[in-house]
Amino acid sequence: MAQNRTSVSHRDLGFTLIEILVSLTLIAVGLLGLAQLIVKGQRASFEAYQRQQAISIANDMLEKIRANRARAADYVAAAPVATPLGEGLRFKDLTTGTITNCATTACAPDLLATYDAAYWDGLLLGATETFNEGGNNAGGVLNARGCVEVVVAPVAPSTQATYRVTVAWQGREPTVTPTTSNCGTGLYGAETLRRAVSLDVRV
C-alpha cells in the first residue's frame, strides 16, 4: 500500500509542474500584451501633450494679432507658410537686442508686431519667457513651426479679414495628413508625420 501511495504522489507532482509551466507561459504572454499596451498609451499621451502645447502656442499668437489688429498683415509677412517661424533666427535677434524688446520698452504697432513674431519664434523653440537666460530651452513641441496666413481677405475697408494661425510639428507615428494648412509641409519627411493645429481670428 505504501508503494502505491508513493507512485500516486509522484504522478500528482508531475502534473502540478506541467500546470505551473503552462500558467507561467500564459502569464508571460499576458505581460507582453500589457507592455505593448503601456507603450501605446505613452505614445498617445505624448501626442496629446504635443497637441495641447501647440494649441497654447497658436493661441498666444492669435491673441497678439487680435491686440495689434492694425498691423495684422505684418504677422503674415513675418511667418508665411513658405518660410515659417521656429528656427530661432528672429528670437536670436531679440535676445541680442537687434529687435526691440517691447516687454520693457513702449513700442509703436509696427515694432510690436516685429517683437511678437520674434517672441513667438522663441516659444516655438521651447524657450522660456525669460528669453532662455540659462542657455537651455524648456522643451516644447517637437520641431515646431508656426505660420500666419490670410484665409479671407477684406474686400472693403469696413470688411474684417480672417487670419489663420497654425503650429505644425513632427509626430512619432504616421497618421492622416493635416488639411487645414500647408504650414510645415516637407519638413518632416513623410506628410503623414506632420501634425498641425490651426486657429482662426477675424480682425
Q: What is the full DSSP assignment across 48-91?
A: HHHHHHHHHHHHHHHHHHHHTGGGHHHHHHHS-SSS-B-SSHHH
Residue 120, pLDDT score:
96
Task: Please write the tens of the pLDDT for every residue from 183-203.
Answer: 999 999 999 999 999 999 998
Length of the chain: 203
Task: Please write the tens of the pLDDT for every residue from 127-160.
Answer: 765 554 444 555 578 999 999 999 998 777 667 8
Higher pLDDT, 45 or 99: 99
Residue in the block written with cell 492622416: 176
**Domain map of the chain by residue range?**
44-202
Task: Please write the tens of the pLDDT for every residue from 7-20.
Answer: 555 555 556 778 88
Distance CA 85, CA 38 (A): 35
